[in-house]
A and B are shown apart, each in its own frame.
Chain A
Amino acid sequence: MSKTVAQTRALVEKSLRRRRLAELRFQAYGIAAVSIGVLFVILLFGSIIAKGAPAFRQAYVTLDVFIDPEVLYPDGTVDTELLATADYVALVRGSLKQRFMDVEGRAATRQLVELVSGSAVQDLQALVQADPKRVGTHQMLTFLADDKVDQYLKGNITRSTPEVDRSLSDQQLDWVDALKASKALELRFNKVFFTHGDSREPEQAGVWGAVVGSLYTLGVTLLLSFPVAVATAIYLEEFARRNRWTDLIEVNINNLAAVPSIVYGLLGLAMFLNFFGMPRSAPLVGGLVLALLTLPTIIIASRAALKGVPPSIREAAIGMGASPIQTVLHHVLPLAMPGMLTGTIIGMARALGETAPLLMIGMVAFIVDVPGSLSSPATVLPVQVFLWADSPERAFVERTSGAILVLLAFLVLMNATAVILRNRFERRW
């Protein structure tokens, strides 16, 4: 028996209520999921920023240094050759003893000199050698303070800890307080962090070496993987006839995208280092390995982008008498470019964060110098993070987070570039 209109309507009403409820419930789930996601992002970023921000400031100590000719030219003969081997520690020591007249004995003096970073000696030597006329003058010079002093100023070392449990003695803390009171010791922008390579001494360690290493490595990766991937995608999607071989290739590309990255590292080690004899720890090899790693990702994204181009455009071009390559270059590629760029950026972002395969090819070495070429030893940002996270010094904790912040900034920059590029290509008609 068929229902009356009123009956039907009542049933629809009832089902409507149920559907509305279901919709509301689903919305609630969605909002909850998004909130949880946002919460974790905030927690993550919050903790990294809180931990990493102090790394961007560093304690510097300003001293009145007398460039004592008696120390530099002990025999009394003025010979600039001697400046290369002179005892600059004595100058620093002299300056500090001038400041704290009452310090007696070798042990106390050593403790006093410990407050200043070892880099002060090199800075001083460079300054004097650059202009030997400075010998015999007084100079107000600013040096890096030792990392322990830095940590004390940042409140990570406190007086309330028993003396035996902290790395600075009561005596040293008194000196630091005195220096601080006279404004000779203060926190400033940490230029070293952004201009230096790695170092065993936290106060002298910077991310610049790793940043340059990452730039070189990613440069190689991009130059190799983008053209190869785009060419592969175009060939497979636009030219190759579907047969058993192309199916096999397709399956393999999809499988490669899922291979753990360390396997690529082993491949790089066996092929590039052992077989081709390329240098260890080099951005060139790192870039090659990461190119292999990102290729499948970019190929898959590029093929999807090509598939998304409406077939009517191809038909139109072919119908006009465009050759296959003209069809692709004039019409298909411009429309697929935004999608290809997105895929490339996803691949590059993954490459930027990769650590495991680079460990296999020796990019984990301790490298002080900022790399100067594609074949000079280098490390990359995530490996630098890994190395610092492993260091016992308190000051490396904040540097680890600081390096992560730099890495994130790098990522944001890359994504922003991608968005700009995409918008430029994506002229919606």
Chain B
Amino acid sequence: MTDIANSTVPPVPPECKTTGVVTVPQPLITARGVNVFYGDKRALKDVSIDIANNQVLAMIGPSGCGKSTFLRCFNRMNDTIDGARVTGSLQLEGQDIYEKRQDVVQLRARIGMVFQKPNPFPKSIYDNVAYGPRIHGLAADRIELDEIVQTSLKRAGLWEEVKDRLAAPGTSLSGGQQQRLCIARTIAVNPEVILMDEPCSALDPIATARIEDLIDELRASYAIIIVTHSMQQAARVSQRTAYFHLGDLIEVGETDRIFTNPRHKLTEDYITGRFG
């Protein structure tokens, strides 16, 4: 690991109009003046923000404001979309994510992602979790792989429910269990950052509560960025909150502060339910 304190943190460009403090003391990821274009359409406008380690950042905002678009910038999932173009700078520990030499496979091993709809592979529970370690060569032998699978499922809070049927198909689980399986699959490769795009939107309140507890535990080891439509959820799980509006990052701040004392008019309208 590079020494974060010594790596130079890029300055926030002066044209950044975001309310609140976008920087953090020792950022893991820095985004500076990030724009995303889908063809000619500019979906994200000059977004600058820091991501801190061991913290949950919640991204909220009305539908279509660019939350998912921004989230997909971090692990370069936008590369797979024809016509999508990203400008500006994104650095993971001082290393440019969009640099030509950057290996996306390595990047995605460091920055894991959990999707809105649970999408386990049509394979066994075991193979779902073992897939990442296998392709990245993380386990020397079967014993080590078994161990990784077990710890990952335990940390995802799924072990007790599936330990007797690891050979059963991942898709035979309930929606909430599938989502926890996807989280287990993501943490099995031991990433540094976990991106979550509305991970609970397809789940009932009980399953949601379990995932939220899980996020809170995982925070101890990872930086987590979560997109959510539920302000209660943002308030419950995150330490920092970013509010997006029509491609602009309007306001960033401590979650408590954003929800009790929003400074920007648009943020206030949104969290009080007058908009969106």
- The residue of chain B having its C-beta at the shortest distance from the C-beta of A312 within the complex is B119
B211 within 8 A of A: no
Q: Which residues of B contact A321 (CB under 8 A)?
A: 104-109, 132, 135-136, 189
A263 within 8 A of B: no
Do the beta carbons of B109 and A317 come within 8 Å of each other? no
Q: How far apart are A423's CB and chain B's nearest CB, in angstroms?
A: 16
- Given the complex of chains A and B, what is the CA–CA distance between A319 and B120 in angstroms? 12
Convert B107-142 into 0s and 1s, putting 1 for each residue whose CB lies closer than 8 angstroms to a CB of A. 111001101010111110000000110011000000
Give the B interface residue count (CB, 8 A): 31
Convert B166-202 into 0s and 1s, putting 1 for each residue whose CB lies closer than 8 angstroms to a CB of A. 0001111000000000100110010000000000000
Do the beta carbons of B121 and A317 come within 8 Å of each other? yes
**Within the complex, which residue of A242, A315, A335 is in contact with B77, where a contact is CB–CB below 8 Å?**
A315
- The residue of chain A having its C-beta at the shortest distance from the C-beta of B108 within the complex is A321
Q: Which residues of B contact A158 (CB under 8 A)?
A: none
Cβ contacts A to B, 5 pairs, < 8 Å: A312-B115, A314-B80, A320-B132, A321-B105, A429-B169
Do the beta carbons of A316 and B169 come within 8 Å of each other? no
Do the beta carbons of B119 and A313 come within 8 Å of each other? yes
Q: How far apart are B84's CB and chain A's nearest CB, in angstroms?
A: 12
Interface residues of A in 61-84 (CB under 8 A from B): none
Do the beta carbons of A318 and B119 come within 8 Å of each other? no
Convert B201-220 into 0s and 1s, putting 1 for each residue whose CB lies closer than 8 angstroms to a CB of A. 00000000000000000000
- The residue of chain B having its C-beta at the shortest distance from the C-beta of A310 within the complex is B119
- The residue of chain B having its C-beta at the shortest distance from the C-beta of A309 within the complex is B122
Convert B56-91 into 0s and 1s, putting 1 for each residue whose CB lies closer than 8 angstroms to a CB of A. 000000000000000000010100101000000000
Do the beta carbons of A319 and B115 come within 8 Å of each other? yes
- The residue of chain B having its C-beta at the shortest distance from the C-beta of A322 within the complex is B135
A19 within 8 A of B: no
- Given the complex of chains A and B, what is the CA–CA distance between A323 and B104 in angstroms? 8
- Given the complex of chains A and B, what is the CA–CA distance between A321 and B186 in angstroms? 10
Q: How far apart are A47's CB and chain B's nearest CB, in angstroms?
A: 46
Q: How far apart are A153's CB and chain B's nearest CB, in angstroms?
A: 61
Q: How far apart are A1's CB and chain B's nearest CB, in angstroms?
A: 38
A326 within 8 A of B: yes
**Within the complex, which residue of B121, B135, B182, B189 is in contact with A313, where a contact is CB–CB below 8 Å?**
B121
- Given the complex of chains A and B, what is the CA–CA distance between A148 and B82 in angstroms? 73
- Given the complex of chains A and B, what is the CA–CA distance between A313 and B122 in angstroms? 8
Convert A365-407 into 0s and 1s, putting 1 for each residue whose CB lies closer than 8 angstroms to a CB of B. 0000000000000000000000000000000000000000000
For the complex of A and B, 8 pairs with smallest distance between CB atoms: A321-B108, A312-B119, A429-B122, A429-B169, A319-B113, A429-B171, A321-B109, A316-B119
Do the beta carbons of A320 and B115 come within 8 Å of each other? no
Q: Which residues of A contact B136 (CB under 8 A)?
A: 321
- Given the complex of chains A and B, what is the CA–CA distance between A4 and B75 in angstroms? 59
A9 within 8 A of B: no
Do the beta carbons of A320 and B169 come within 8 Å of each other? no
Residue numbers of B with Cβ under 8 A of A are 75, 77, 80, 82, 104-109, 112-113, 115, 117, 119-123, 131-132, 135-136, 169-172, 182, 185-186, 189
**Within the complex, which residue of A312, A317, A319 is in contact with B75, where a contact is CB–CB below 8 Å?**
A319
Q: Which residues of B contact A312 (CB under 8 A)?
A: 115, 117, 119
Q: A429-B122, A429-B171 given as contacts; is B115 within 8 A of A316 (CB)?
A: yes
- Given the complex of chains A and B, what is the CA–CA distance between A429 and B170 in angstroms? 8
Q: Which residues of A contact B82 (CB under 8 A)?
A: 241-242
- Given the complex of chains A and B, what is the CA–CA distance between A317 and B128 in angstroms? 10
Q: A331-B121, A429-B122 given as contacts; is B170 within 8 A of A319 (CB)?
A: no
Q: Which residues of A contact B189 (CB under 8 A)?
A: 320-321
Q: How far apart are A261's CB and chain B's nearest CB, in angstroms?
A: 36
Q: Which residues of A contact B117 (CB under 8 A)?
A: 312
Residue numbers of A with Cβ under 8 A of B are 241-242, 310, 312-323, 326, 330-331, 334-335, 427, 429
Do the beta carbons of A319 and B121 come within 8 Å of each other? no
Do the beta carbons of A335 and B135 come within 8 Å of each other? no
Q: How far apart are A422's CB and chain B's nearest CB, in angstroms?
A: 16
Among A314, A321, A323, A326: residue with most chain B CB under 10 A? A321
**Within the complex, which residue of A315, A322, A334 is in contact with B115, where a contact is CB–CB below 8 Å?**
A315
- Given the complex of chains A and B, what is the CA–CA distance between A15 and B117 in angstroms? 40
Among B82, B121, B171, B172: residue with most chain A CB under 10 A? B121
Q: Which residues of B contact A429 (CB under 8 A)?
A: 122-123, 169-172
- Given the complex of chains A and B, what is the CA–CA distance between A86 and B192 in angstroms? 93
Q: Which residues of A contact B121 (CB under 8 A)?
A: 313, 316-317, 331
Q: Which residues of A contact B122 (CB under 8 A)?
A: 313, 331, 334-335, 427, 429
- Given the complex of chains A and B, what is the CA–CA distance between A317 and B106 in angstroms? 13
Do the beta carbons of A319 and B77 come within 8 Å of each other? yes
**Within the complex, which residue of B107, B135, B169 is in contact with A326, where a contact is CB–CB below 8 Å?**
B135
Beyond A241-B82, A322-B105, list 13 extra A-B contacts (CB 8 Å): A314-B80, A315-B115, A316-B115, A316-B120, A318-B80, A318-B108, A320-B108, A320-B189, A321-B109, A321-B189, A330-B131, A330-B135, A429-B169
Q: How far apart are A146's CB and chain B's nearest CB, in angstroms?
A: 63
Q: How far apart are B169's CB and chain A's nearest CB, in angstroms?
A: 4
Q: Which residues of B contact A427 (CB under 8 A)?
A: 122
- Given the complex of chains A and B, what is the CA–CA distance between A314 and B77 in angstroms? 11
- Given the complex of chains A and B, what is the CA–CA distance between A87 and B50 in angstroms? 105
- The residue of chain A having its C-beta at the shortest distance from the C-beta of B107 within the complex is A321
- Given the complex of chains A and B, what is the CA–CA distance between A320 and B190 in angstroms? 11
Do the beta carbons of B132 and A318 come within 8 Å of each other? no
Q: Which residues of A contact B104 (CB under 8 A)?
A: 321
Do the beta carbons of B170 and A315 come within 8 Å of each other? no
Q: How far apart are B167's CB and chain A's nearest CB, in angstroms?
A: 12
